[in-house]
Amino acid sequence: MSNQNFSQNFPDYQQDSAEPLIAPDAMNDTLRQQLERIAGQSKAKTDNTLPTKTESTTVTKSLKTQTLSHILQSGVDIILSHSNIDKPLLQSKLDTMYEGLNSVYEQADIPSSLRTRQFISKHGLIMSTNHCVTTQRDLFRVRSFIRGVHHAIKKKLSQTDNKIHLVYPACGPFAPLLLPLLAHYQHNGEVSPEQLNVTLIDIQPAAVASLQAVIRATHLQSFIHKIVCIDACDYQPDIPIDIIVLEAMQHGVSREAFIPIARHFANVMKPDAFFLPEKVSVRAVIGVGQREFVEQWQNQRPVEGGNMLTPPNIHRIEMGEVLAITPQFLQLNQDLILDEHTRLLPCAELCIPTLIDEQDKPLLLLCTTINVYGEDTLNEYDSGITHPLPDMQVCINFKPKDAKPGDLLVNSGDRLKFYYRLNGLPGFMTTLAASPSAKNSKLGVENERI
Ligand SMILES: C[S@@+](CC[C@H](N)C(=O)[O-])C[C@H]1O[C@@H](n2cnc3c(N)ncnc32)[C@H](O)[C@@H]1O
């Protein structure tokens, strides 16, 4: 394993300001726990019968570190052996995994300036490592990816006698979609280090230091080929790549560098390599905000894909697919280069349908579904990354009372042309399509539809 010591030199990326993040539920939960701990500490200061924070947490930490490998492996046992989801059981397993991993992270000697460092790179938002730790608790996402990655590894091994190389770029401080699976393999021997080589990549030195500490604590070194601290878009493999596992996005495939990283790896992996997720599909849907985000979840319906109302109850109208990110798509290069700093990816052009009266202030929603591998999928609302993203700038059939710069006033019958911004904070941009006669002369787009 390379990069064993945190004291090694890491690339010095310039720190920049970033917009506030849309906090997923798990992150809010963690912030609440932090607030509770702070409140608990001030209470402890005034109550000298309680143990100090340092005494109590050190005991808990050493216990959890000893059993971390077992904690990870037993969570994966549940994930792989149950085709139905026992949510309370699995959530408690993931929470325990998170606690164990987080105690290793807290004990690793990582300067706070690196843990909290957040910036916008050439390709997208780089979240602070402190904000990335909670993804371990995201139930449906962790479950679908662990299952998908396991089946992809088994399939690849069935096709070759050679050791396979799996690369996990933008893996974060815990590599949550893979490391628990490695602990499971180590325990039951289903896949051995002689069959599987893993490269972990993250741009954040704090994430790399955390990965090193977690791998030491779980004794998973024999599976690890390298841990690399680099912008994933600059990584060049030293051995051929058989499987890529990538999840670097927020809802509506926004903000993080999923598409730039995916395109880079599509060009450096073996032609027959598996790319996970196999497909990310983004659809444009017209909905009604109150129904979509409030009413359909009333009566204590947990907010997740399986509980979504189906049309006509949800009052949605499908416009069509804006973009399908597949291995074939990743090989194409249809970028529209506006200047040296600005690239747009042209996506679909779709017509706004006639709307029924009930759709007061219709909302344009970008709805994401993710096919991880085979049958393992993430549906809308299953995870923060598949929550529908409203495009609040698009005003369909109404004029806003408080018009804002950037508002796009459109009507039923108009055609919307979608683009994907590849620079700054990546994400979809909606425009009114040029009329057919003006279209080709104006932008010089090679293909109108993807
Ligand atoms: C949300 S976190 C963890 C995501 C992780 N894949 C998971 O499943 O939990 C995103 C991580 O991706 C890393 N990252 C984002 N863009 C990157 C890039 N261009 N190159 C390398 N790492 C990147 C960040 O540093 C951060 O640690």
pLDDT at 34 over 90: no
Q: How far is the CA of 401 from the centre of ligand 1 (A)?
A: 39
Cα separation of 342 and 407, whole Å? 21
Q: How far is the CA of 126 from the centre of ligand 1 (A)?
A: 7
Q: What stretches of 172-316 adopt beta strand conformation (E)? A: 196-202, 224-229, 243-245, 274-276, 279-287
% of the chain at pLDDT higher than 90: 70
Q: How far is the CA of 35 from the centre of ligand 1 (A)?
A: 25
Grade residue 135 by pLDDT with cuts at 50, 70 and 90.
very high
pLDDT at 74 over 90: yes
Of residues 208 and 312, more confidence is placed in 208
pLDDT tens-digit map of 151-204? 999 999 999 999 999 999 999 999 999 999 999 999 999 999 999 999 999 999
Q: Indicate the burial class of 390 (C-beta count within 10 angstroms; 0-12, 13-18, 19 or more).
A: middle
- The first and second tokens of residue 355, run together, are 């709307």
Query: How do strand 119-120 and strand 125-126 relate by DSSP bridges?
Result: antiparallel
State the pLDDT at residue 270. 95
pLDDT at 51 over 50: no
Cα separation of 219 and 201, whole Å? 19
What would the mean pLDDT of 246-259 be, rounded to a whole number? 96
Helices marked H in 174-296 — which ranges? Answer: 179-188, 205-218, 258-268, 289-293
Q: How far is the CA of 425 from the centre of ligand 1 (A)?
A: 14
Mean of per-residue pLDDT scores for the chain = 85
Cβ of 372 less than 6 Å from ligand 1 = no
Q: In the chain, helix, strand, coil percent, each to 5?
A: 40, 20, 40
What would the mean pLDDT of 340-359 be, rounded to a whole number? 88
Cβ of 200 less than 6 Å from ligand 1 = no
What would the mean pLDDT of 276-284 be, rounded to a whole number? 98
Q: What stretches of 95-238 adopt beta strand conformation (E)? A: 119-120, 125-126, 164-169, 196-202, 224-229
State the pLDDT at residue 167. 98
